[in-house]
Amino acid sequence: MIGLPTAASDWRLMARTARLVVRSPVYAVLAVAAALAALTLFVTSLNVSLVNDLVLGGPLPLADRLAVLLELYPFVGTFFDPLQGVLLLAVAALTGVDVAMAVYHFREHGVSIRDGGASAAGVVLGTLGAGCAACGSAVLVGLLSLFGVSTSLLFLPLDGLEFAVGGVVVLTLSIYWLADGMRGGEVNGCPVNV
| pLDDT tens digits along 165-186 | 877 888 888 888 888 877 754 4
Domain edges within the chain: 8-182
Is the pLDDT confidence value at 51 over 80?
A: yes
- Listed in sequence order, the residues at least 6 apart from 125 whose beta carbon sits closer than 8 Å to its beta carbon are 163, 166, 167, 170, 171
Q: How far apart are CA 105 and CA 65, in angstroms?
A: 38
List the Cα angle 99/100/105 in 5-degree steps: 95
Task: Return d(Cα 150, Cα 72) in angstroms, integer.
Answer: 32
Do 86 and 73 contact (CB within 8 A), yes or no? no
Q: How many residues does the chain have?
A: 194
Q: Any residues with CB less than 8 A from the CB of 172 and at least 6 apart, and which?
A: 5, 14, 94
Per-residue pLDDT of 150-162, as tens digits, reads 455 555 566 667 7
pLDDT of the residue at 50? 82
Mean pLDDT, rounded, for 65-84: 85
